[in-house]
Amino acid sequence: MQAREVRDMSDDELTAKERELKESLFFLRLRHGTNQLERPTQLAQTRRDIARVKTVQRQRQLERKA
DSSP the chain: --HHHHHTS-HHHHHHHHHHHHHHHHHHHHHHHTT--S-THHHHHHHHHHHHHHHHHHHHHHHHH-
pLDDT band at 9 (very low <50, low <70, confident <90, very high): very high
CATH code at position 35:
1.10.287.310
- Cα separation, 27 vs 10, whole angstroms: 26
pLDDT band at 66 (very low <50, low <70, confident <90, very high): confident
Task: Render pLDDT for 14-61 as a digit per residue (tens, 0 to 9).
Answer: 999 999 999 999 999 999 999 999 999 999 999 999 999 999 999 999
Q: What is the pLDDT of residue 60?
A: 96
Predicted confidence (pLDDT) at residue 1 exceeds the cutoff of 90: no
Q: How many domains does the chain have?
A: 1
Range of the structural domain that residue 41 is part of: 3-65
